[in-house]
Chain A
Amino acid sequence: MAFREYKIGARMFGLAFGTSMFITLYMPAVDIANVSVTATGLHRQLSFGRMGGFGYEDPLLTGVNKPVSVILKTDPKSGSPMEATRAYVYEAGVPFPNGLRHPRILGKGPGELSASKGKIAESSETTGAVFVVREVEMNGEMVPYIENATAVRGWNPSDTMQKVSEADRFQIGKGKIMFVREGCWWCHTLLPEETQDWQYFGAPPMLGDFNGENPTAFGSDRKAPDLTHVGSRNSSREWMTLHFFNPRMVQPHSIMPRYDYLWGDVDANGNKINYSAWYASYDEYSAGKRVYPPEVPEPAKDSEARSLIDFVLNLK
C-alpha cells in the first residue's frame, strides 16, 4: 500500500462514503427525531407495549409480558359509572413502551404534558400502571399526552381489570406479536399509500403516528388488502373468526393461509378441538356432499387466535 494514489484513494473513499452516510443517516435521523407523536401514535405504542419483534422479555415471540387494552365504563377507584374510556393496563412486570422513558420519542408538546399533567415519571414497571391518552388545547391546537392514571386517579392495574368485562378486554399487544411472528405483514401492508389508497384503504398515516413503535412492519409486497384501517371497514368478530380459521369459508377466492393452528388445543368452552374431523367435514362441504360447513370453534380467551383477532379488530 505504499503508493501515493492509494493513500489519496482511501481518503477520497472515506470522504465520499462519509458524506453519503451523513446525508442518508444523520440528516434524516435529526429530522425524524423532531417529530411530535400524534394521538394515534400514543394509542399504538400503549396498546403494543415495548417490542413487537424479538426481545429479552419475549425471546420466542409467544406474546407474554404485553399490556392489555380495555374499555372502562366504571371508575376503577370509586366504582361510579363514567364515559367509556380506553385504558392500557400494564400489570406488574410488563415492560413499558419506549416512549415513556426515552427523552425524545414523544416530542416536545406531548412529552412535556405527559411529564407535567400525566405524571408518567411516577409510573413503575415493578408495580405496573394504567395509562390513558388525553388531549388538551395548547396555543389553539389539541395536543395529546399520556396520563399515568395510577398516579393521577389512583386506578391500579388489578382493580381496573376487575371492573372490565371479558368483552371489553383486547390483547392487542400479544396480537401484534402474532402479526409479526406469523408473517401477516408479508402480504398485508400496514401503510395506505399517500398517492392511491385514500378511497379504498383509508387515510395514509401522519408523520408522528409511529413514534415509539418497533417494529413498524409496514410490509412491502402487497398480495392482500392493506389492514391499517381494517377495523373500521369490518368490525365483525364472527367474520374474523371464520376468516382466520379458514379464509375460504367467507371468501372462496382468498389465497390466505389457514390460521387454525393458532386456536391451540381447546376452544373457548374448554372442549378439545378435533382438527382432523373438522378437515374431513370441510372437505365434504367443499366437495358438495354437505350443505353447511362444519362449525368453527370459538377461540379460547388465552389463545393466540383470540389476540390476533383483537389486534386486527382494533386497527381502526
Chain B
Amino acid sequence: MFKYLFAKNEDIPAGSAAVYFGYSSIMWFIVGTGLGSFNAAKLAFPDFVYGIELLSFGHMRQVHVLAVILGWISMAFAMAMMYITPALGNTKLWSERMGVWNCFLWNVGLALGLFLLWMGVTSGREYSDLPWFIDLVVIFGVLFPLALNVWMTIKTRRTQGIYTTNWFFGAATFMVMIVFLVGNSPEFFSLTGLTEAYLTWWFAHNVLGLWITPVAAAISYYIVPKVTGNPLYSHRIGHLHFWSVVVFYSTPAAHHLMSAPLPEWLKSFASVEGVLILVPAIAFVSNLLLTMTGKWKMFVENVEIKFTISGVLMAIPLNMQGGFQQTRAINWYIHGTGWIVAHAHLALLGFSTFLEAAAVYYGLQTLLRRKLYSLALANFHFWMLLIGFTTYWTSMTIAGLIQGAGKIYEVPYIDVVIAEHPYMIARWVGGTMVFLGNCVWLYNMWMTARAGTVIPAGRLPHELAYER
C-alpha cells in the first residue's frame, strides 16, 4: 500500500484502493465485533474485568459502535464504491492514488479517533462521540476525497445513463458530509440544551438513514443483477426508492426523542414521517426480490446471493419495527429498552452487514481475479453470522420486552436486571459467534488472495466452480 502513496496514478493497478479498503474493512469488523463481545461479557458477568479504567464498559462501548460504523460498514462502502462505480460507468476510478490515500488516511484517522475515545476524550454525544477535530478529519480527510472520487468517476463514465446504484452513491456521499457538518455543529459552535440533544439524534438518525441504509441498498442493486444475470426488476421502483429516501428518511430525527420535552409538533411530524420510511423500504425489498425471479436456487448455492438476499429479507422486519416502534402508541413501551438495541443490531449487523459482506466477497474475488478459497469456510462464516445475530436479536428483544413491562408496572429496577441476566449471557454468546465467524472470514479472504484459483480473463468469479 505504502509504495503506491507516492506512485504515479497510471502506475497503480486498477482496483488497488478497493482491495485495501476491502481488507481494512474486514479487520475493523473483527476489531468492532471483538469489542462488542468483550463488552457484552461485562454486562453478563460484571466482575469479569475490574479495576482497570481503560477496560471498563464506559470507555469501550462507544469504541465498539464507531469501529463498526466508521471502520467496518463505511470502509466496506468505500470499497464497494471504488469498484462498483467505475464498473457501472465502464471506466476506471477517477483517481486510484487518491483512493489509496483515502484508505491510508481513513485507517490512521479512525485509529487515532478511536484511541482518543478509548482514553475518554469524548464529546459526550452518542454516535457523534468523536471530538470535533477528529470530525473535521472525517469530513475533509475521509468523506470528501471519497465523494470526489465517486462524483468524478460518475462524471467521466463512458455509458449514457446512470444506473440506480450510482445515484445512491453520488447522493449519499454528498448527504453524509452534510450530516457530519451539521450534526457535529453543537461541538463546532458550542450549541447547548435541547438544540444539542436534538442535533445529536438528528446526526444519529441521518447517518443511518442517509448513509448506511441507502448505500447498503445500492450495493444490492448491483450485486443481485450482476450475479444472477437478471436485469433489475424495475428502474421506476428504483426511482421511488431513491426519492422517498431523500424526502422521507431525512425527516424523522426527532422520533428518537419521543419522551423528551421537544416541541410537540416536531415529535408528531417525525412520527408520521417515520411511518413513511416504509415507502422506500417496500420499494427496495420488492424490487430486489422480484429481480430474483427464476434464480432462487442461487440463494442456496451462491455465497454472494445468499448474503445479499438474507440482508434484503432482514430489511422486512427491520423496517416494520422501524416504521411503527417510533409511533407514540408503541414507543412508550419499548423506548430506551433492549428492544431498541436489538433493532439497531438488526439494522447494522443484520440488514446492512449482510449486504456489505456480499460486496466484499464479490469485490475481492473480481479485483484479485481469484476464486474464493473455500466455499465451506464462507458458508461457516454465513451461518456463524446468521445464528449469532439471531441469538443476539432474539435475546435482546425479549430483554427489551421484559424491561418495558418492568417500566410500566413500576417493578423495582433491580428485578429487571435479574430477569435480564440469562438474555445478557445469550447476547454475549451470539456476539462472540459473530466475532469468531469474522476471524474465519479474514483467513478465507487472505487465502483467496494467496491461493484462490485464478479467474481467466473475461469470466466472472461465480461462473467458476469451487475447488474446496
A185, B261: Cβ atoms closer than 8 Å = no
Whether B122 contacts A253 by the Cβ 8 Å rule is no
A199 located at the interface, meaning its Cβ lies under 8 Å from any Cβ of chain B in the complex? yes
How would residues 208 to 222 of chain A score, 1 for a CB under 8 Å from any chain B CB and 0 otherwise? Answer: 011111111111111
Query: Does the CB pair B332–A20 fall under 8 Å?
Result: no
Residues of B contacting A200 with CB < 8 Å?
A: 407, 410, 413
A257 near B57: Cβ-Cβ < 8 Å: yes
Chain A stretch 226-257: residues in CB contact (< 8 A) with chain B: 247-248, 251, 253-257
**Which chain A residues lie closer than 8 Å to B259 at the CB level?**
191, 193-196, 204
B408 contacts chain A at the CB level, 8 A cutoff: yes
Instruction: Tell me if B290 counts as interface (CB < 8 A to partner A).
Output: no
Q: Are A182's CB and B120's CB within 8 A?
A: yes
Chain B residue, CB-CB nearest to A5: B161
Partner of A33, one of B122, B132, B162, B195: B195
Complex Cα distance A211/B341, Å? 29
Task: Determine if B97 is an interface residue (Cβ-Cβ < 8 Å).
Answer: no
Q: Are B253 and A16 in contact, CB atoms less than 8 angstroms apart?
A: no
Q: Is there a chain A Cβ closer than 8 Å to B268's Cβ? A: no
Check if B376 is an interface residue, CB within 8 A of chain A: no
What is the total of A-B residue contacts with beta carbons within 8 Å? 228
B223-266: CB near A (< 8 Å → 1, else 0) gives: 00000000000000000000100110011011011011111011
**Centre residue among A13, A54, A219, A254 by max chain B CB count within 10 A:** A54
Question: Counting CB contacts under 8 A, is A136 at the interface?
Answer: no
B contact residues around A80 at 8 Å (CB): none
Are B261 and A206 in touch, CB under 8 angstroms? yes
Q: Please, how many angstroms separate the alpha-carbon atoms of A193 and B336 in the complex? A: 9
B132, A54: Cβ atoms closer than 8 Å: yes
Residues in chain A near residue B253, CB distance under 8 A? 24
Query: Which range holds the interface residue count of chain A?
Result: 35 or more
Contacts of A221 in B (CB 8 A): 336, 338, 340-341
Q: Which residues of A are found within 8 Å of B192, using beta-carbon distances?
A: 45, 98-99, 102, 105, 210-214
Is B371 engaged at the interface, CB distance under 8 Å to the other chain? Answer: no
Q: Does B119 reach chain A (CB closer than 8 Å)?
A: yes
Q: With A and B bound together, what is the CA distance between A251 and B43 in angstroms?
A: 15
Q: Which of B120, B190, B256, B261 contacts A220 (CB 8 A)?
A: B256
Instruction: Report whether B194 and A32 are in contact in the complex, using a CB–CB cutoff of 8 Å.
Output: yes
- Roughly how many angstroms separate A275 CA and B155 CA in the complex, as a whole number? 63
Q: Are B413 and A256 in contact (CB under 8 A)?
A: no
The contact of B53 among A199, A212, A261, by CB within 8 Å, is A261
Taking CB atoms, residues of chain B closer than 8 Å to A299 are: none
Tell me the nearest residue of chain A to B53, going by C-beta. A261
Q: How far is the CA of A127 from the CA of B160 in the complex (A)?
A: 68
On whether the beta carbons of B186 and A220 are closer than 8 Å, the reply is no
Q: In the complex where A193-B259, A195-B332 touch, is A183 in contact with B43 (Cβ < 8 A)?
A: no
Instruction: Evaluate contact between A54 and B162: CB separation under 8 angstroms.
Output: no
Q: In the bound complex, how far is the Cα of B2 from the Cα of A110, in angstroms?
A: 59
CB distance from A203 to the nearest CB of B (A): 11
Instruction: Tell yes or no: A223 within 8 A of B by CB.
Output: yes
Tally chain B residues at the interface, Cβ within 8 Å: 82
Residues of A within 8 A of B57 (CB): 183, 186-187, 257
Within 8 A of A (CB), among B160-205: 160-162, 171, 175, 178, 182, 186-187, 190-198, 200, 202
Taking CB atoms, residues of chain B closer than 8 Å to A258 are 47, 50-51
- B191-A20 in contact (CB<8A): no
Instruction: Name the B residues within 8 Å of A121 (CB-CB).
Output: none
Residues from chain B with Cβ under 8 Å of A1 in the complex: 155
| CB of B326 to closest CB in A, whole Å | 13
Query: CB distance B403 to A222 under 8 Å?
Result: yes
**Could you write out 25 A-B pairs with CB less than 8 Å apart?**
A3-B160, A6-B162, A16-B243, A16-B247, A24-B251, A28-B266, A54-B123, A183-B56, A186-B61, A193-B332, A194-B261, A195-B335, A214-B186, A214-B192, A214-B196, A215-B123, A215-B196, A216-B197, A220-B256, A220-B336, A221-B338, A225-B413, A261-B51, A261-B52, A261-B56
* Given pairs A12-B243, A205-B260, 8 additional interface contacts (CB within 8 A): A25-B202, A59-B121, A99-B192, A105-B193, A186-B57, A186-B61, A187-B57, A189-B336
Residues of B participating in the A interface, judged by any CB pair closer than 8 Å: 42-44, 46-47, 50-53, 56-59, 61-62, 119-126, 131-132, 155, 160-162, 171, 175, 178, 182, 186-187, 190-198, 200, 202, 243, 246-247, 250-251, 253-254, 256-257, 259-263, 265-266, 269-270, 328, 332, 335-338, 340-341, 403, 407-408, 410, 413-414, 417-418, 421, 424
Which residue numbers of A lie inside 8 Å of B, CB to CB?
1, 3, 6, 12-13, 16-17, 19-21, 23-25, 27-29, 31-33, 35, 41, 45, 50-54, 59-61, 98-99, 102, 105, 180-187, 189, 191, 193-197, 199-200, 204-207, 209-225, 247-248, 251, 253-261, 275, 279
